Amino acid sequence: MQLKPLGTPAKLLAHLVRDVDFRNERDPKFVVGAYGAKGAHLLYFRPGDSQQQARIIKPSAQFPAKVPGRALWALSHTGDGIVHLIASGSDEVQAYRYDLDADRLEEIPFTISYDRDADAGSKFKHFYALRLCPSPFENCLYGGGYPDCRLYAWDRATGQFVDHGRIDETENYLIWPCPQFENKIYCGLGSHAKLVELDLQTKAKRPAFPFQDSQKGEAGPAGYLGKEFLVQLTRWQDKLIGVLFPHPKLLIFDTISNQVERIIDIPNEEDLYRTDQNNLIIGDDEVYFGGLISDNLYRADLTTGRLEKIAANVGGPFGITEGRYLWCHSAIDRITQFDLATHRVVERFPCSYEGDGMGIFAMALGPDEKTLYGGSFITQSFFKFDPMKNTSREFGQVLNLPGQVNSLQAWREKIFIGHYIHATVTEYDTTKPWNLLDKENPNPYRLFSLLHESQDRIWDMKLASDDCIYLACGATYGKLSGGLARFNPQTYEYRVFHDLMPEQTLWCLETRVPDKVIIGSWIYGGLGQKPSTTEGRLGIFDIATEKIEQLIVPVPKAKNVTAITLWQTQNNNFIIGTADGALFVYDLVKNEIIFRGEHGWGDTASLCASRDGWVYGIAQHAIYRFDPERQKFEKISDFRCDGFVDKIIEDKEGNLYIASMTELYRLER
């Protein structure tokens, strides 16, 4: 047996953070930090630049790193032609300075230490540099980090870093520092929406507004007004402006009286552009901002709180030139120039660029059970691969939200897509042209979100015997309990079952057992919340009674059930699953575990019971197969996989396809 490479089906880069080069306002340019599965990218382009015209820099190519940072969330151009950036999201972190005019990149040692284990609510141990914000009072940039809620300064002249330490011992995200007040840094935190003031002279840290649960009227884990994050912090006069989300609110905070002066509700929007640089454009007494998912452009009067929508289908502003032209972006990688004087769109510019591959996060068979469809990490991008022609097509982003395609399920001629963020579901009709931007009949089409059910990620989707699609969900940030959603693709009705496996994430599903849904769970919930349980579980949900009829711990002390599949004999059905590197076999007739064993190749990300009688698996250090009859493991390849986003599926003709990181393969047997 051998792996046959089939190509890299997803290459569109994910734009994480945007800044501007407006030194010549009549010749505006943009600086964008992008995620790349093999290393972060920096983009520098004019509106309308093609792939060939844009400058695309991959820092790890000029300064090779053993483990290059994949994410570029931290980037700042202060108007002097020098861009400071930090690549993170891997086992190593790299800092750079880039000269826009000389096209010169310089590596700067990143000397900030951090606690990899600070977020007890996550199995992942990578550091993320989340923001770089310039101070008007000193020659420094201030940055925040995950997972240890750390604040640091970067001296732009010397290149030296200064560690200000962990700002809050109970939180994990310092997502937005604001150095716009002399000798003070206001820090927006998550996953429980806090604001902390750091005095740079005394080093004192002070909570800057009351952290009360609006439901209970007392201090609690829900944070201020039950929100998760406080972002987009900036200054207006002597006031601090920020955005609370989800279900966002615009907040005006008086730094002198230490009181929330005004809260402005954002109507009919699930989110705001929250993680990009400078998405609140402030005038004299008004602020402009954009809302997701509709790309509406709003203006709020900061003195009265009056809010008005001034344009639709524009996006989130991130810069202004000549006092009148707002430069706005959409999550679907499009920039719009909007004239405030005429309230008209001047021009729209696509700005999609390719890198060397994006991680394949989801993969499933299409309606013909031959064509492969998939989605990529971070970008929300969607692709299909035709194995008969050995060709692939990347359609682009599925919907106007940040995040990723987490799961897919075909039904008749349609494919239903489960997303992070907001546990969103979209529908793609394979018989119709792809046209996301059609206002009347978009394809794909956004159906609903489960954010109001406190769900944020749809980890798995499977069609069950009742012809409904079941969704295994993870909770929103700062919460633990994932839900099981039942969606009827004929009527579009859905229902969420809560607390089937209390305070755990529902991770994987198997639905080919008649009248049942088999569920595997993780102890972790939404990020930023410590687990309350210690062992992953296997549950059997009865469709008729709508209850869990069996709930067991398949592997004692194992935290996560990472994959499950159905293996059938003539007389019986078995669930074969993996938990923290161990494989188990559960007899559905006897209702008991009949085998446990460890293969020694790390966590398994995906399992597939093949027509040839073997069960195939992708682990961190090997591709293997398991013979359930003889209860024996066999290594197929030493191929090193990611161990998290890898997928393996079999088509109706018995061909096995494997997606690992950016590449697609067929296992030749």
Quick check: is 564 in a domain?
yes
Contact in structure between 354 and 12 (CB atoms under 8 Å): yes
* 221 occurs within a structural domain: no
Token couple for 11: 């290459």
Ranges of beta strands (E only) in 68-160 are: 71-77, 82-88, 94-99, 104-108, 128-134, 140-146, 150-155
> Residue 601 is part of which domain span?
554-669
pTM of the model: 0.95
Structure tokens of 328?
């706005």
Confidence (pLDDT) at 522: 96
How far apart CA 446 and CA 315 sit, in angstroms, is 17
Q: Which of 484, 476, 456, 580 is nearest to 529 (CA)?
A: 476
Residues 6 or more apart in contact with residue 289 via CB below 8 angstroms: 232, 243, 250, 272, 273, 279, 280, 281, 297, 298, 300, 316, 317
* Inside any domain, residue 453: no
Total structural domains within the chain: 1
State whether residue 651 is helix, strand or coil.
coil
CA 163 – CA 166 distance, rounded (Å): 9
Q: Which residues contact 43 (CB under 8 A, 6 or more apart)?
A: 13, 15, 30, 31, 32, 33, 34, 54, 55, 56, 57, 353
Residues 6+ apart with CB under 8 A from 534: 523, 557, 559
CB atoms < 10 A from the CB of 200, how many? 19
Q: Is 243 part of a structural domain of the chain?
A: no
For residue 62, report the phi and psi dihedrals to the nearest 5 degrees.
Answer: -85, -35
Query: Domain for residue 657, yes or no?
Result: yes
Compute mean pLDDT per 10 residues along the chain, 669 residues long, and list them. Answer: 93 94 97 94 96 96 94 96 96 95 98 91 88 96 96 97 96 96 96 94 87 42 76 96 90 91 83 73 94 89 96 93 95 92 96 93 96 93 94 94 94 97 96 91 95 96 98 95 98 98 97 98 94 97 98 97 96 96 96 96 95 95 96 92 80 94 93
Q: What is the phi/psi pair of residue 59, to 5°?
A: -55, -35
Strands (E), 403-464: 404-411, 414-420, 424-429, 445-449, 455-463
Count other C-beta atoms under 10 Å from residue 644's C-beta.
16
At residue 270, the pLDDT reads 64
CA 67 – CA 370 distance, rounded (Å): 36
Residue 615 in contact with residue 630, Cβ under 8 Å? no
Strands 184-190 and 71-77: unpaired
Round to whole Å and give the CA distance between 279 and 234. Answer: 10
pLDDT at 219: 38
Q: Backbone phi, then psi, for 42, in 5-degree steps? A: -115, 130
- Which of these, 385, 361, 382, 354, lies nearest to 371 by C-alpha position? 385
Token pair for residue 515?
Answer: 């009248």
Torsions phi, psi for 81 (to 5 deg): 85, 0
CATH number assigned to the domain comprising residue 597: 2.130.10.10
Query: Which residues have C-beta within 8 Å of that of residue 35, sequence separation ≥ 6?
Result: 13, 14, 16, 41, 70, 71, 72, 89, 358, 377, 378, 379
Task: Tell me whether strands 239-245 and 2-7 are parallel, antiparallel or unpaired.
Answer: unpaired
362: exposed, middle or buried (Cβ count in 10 Å: 0-12, 13-18, 19+): buried
Pull the structure tokens for residue 58: 């991959």
Phi, psi of 494 (to 5 degrees): -145, 160
Would you give the DSSP letter of residue 186? E
Which residue in this structure is represented by tokens 């902390």? 196
Residue with tokens 């109706």: 652
- Measured between alpha carbons, how far is 254 from 239 in angstroms, rounded to an integer? 5
The token pair at 244 is: 């609370």
* Closest alpha carbon to 196 in 228, 174, 180: 174
Q: Are the C-beta atoms of 272 and 248 separated by less than 8 Å?
A: yes
Please report whether residue 667 resides in a domain: yes
d(CA 431, CA 425): 19
DSSP state of 556: T
Joined together, the tokens standing for residue 221 give 């884990």
CA distances to 148, 509, 550, 646 from 583, rounded to whole Å, are 33, 16, 19, 17
Tell me the residue ranges of DSSP E strands in 46-93: 55-57, 71-77, 82-88
Whether 592 is covered by a domain: the verdict is: yes
User: Contact 620/641 with Cβ under 8 angstroms?
Assistant: yes
- 136-152 in b/e burial notation, b at 16+ Cβ within 10 A? eebebbbbbbbbbbbbb
* Region of 349 on the Ramachandran plot (φ > 0 left; ψ -120 to 50 alpha; else beta): beta
Helix (H, G, I), strand (E, B) or coil at 42: strand
pLDDT number for residue 584? 98
Give the residue among 468, 473, 417 at the shortest CA–CA distance from 445: 417
SS3 (DSSP) at 606: strand
Sheet holding 414-420, edge to edge: 404-411, 414-420, 424-429, 445-449
Look up residue 406 and give its amino acid.
N
Residue 268 included in any domain: no
The C-alpha atoms of residue 483 and residue 481 are separated, in whole angstroms, by 7
